Amino acid sequence: MTDENRFAQTPKPPYFAVIFSSSVTGTDPDGYKATADRMIELAAEQDGFLGIESTRDEAGFGITVSFWRDQDAIRRWFEVPEHQEAQKAGKAKWYDHYSVRICQVERNYETGAR
């Protein structure tokens, strides 16, 4: 079942991560999907973006981790107007609950048939 594109190709640490955990309400699934896809595309256009990994189970619980060069890049990303609009819509209708954690990645390793 491997899809290697699901794994972010990040540089040697240190770099930064935003861990976004959320449970969706199930309201407006098409609008949610379109916006979620657009946010991944928009994030990838930002200076300092390093990659993203995202998954959600059938119960609606998801984790998205985006990777960034530094904290300034993260701060700017949260201030992008189109992203702010999406955050408002997310709070208003798509998410029951979410949590955001900003981290510094100190070590990473991986394995596999890549």
Binding region for its own copies (CB under 8 A): 1-4, 6-7, 10, 13, 17, 19, 21, 23-26, 53-63, 65, 91, 95-114
**Residue number, 42 or 63, with CB nearest to its own copies:** 63
The DSSP secondary-structure symbol of 56 reads: E
Asked if 59 and 16 count as a contact pair (C-beta separation under 8 A), the reply is no
The amino acid at 101:
R
Tokens representing 16?
């930064």
Tokens representing 10?
């990040």
Task: State the minimum distance, in angstroms, from the CB of residue 77 to its own copies.
Answer: 14
**Residue number, 46 or 54, with CB nearest to its own copies:** 54
Task: State the minimum distance, in angstroms, from the CB of residue 27 to its own copies.
Answer: 10
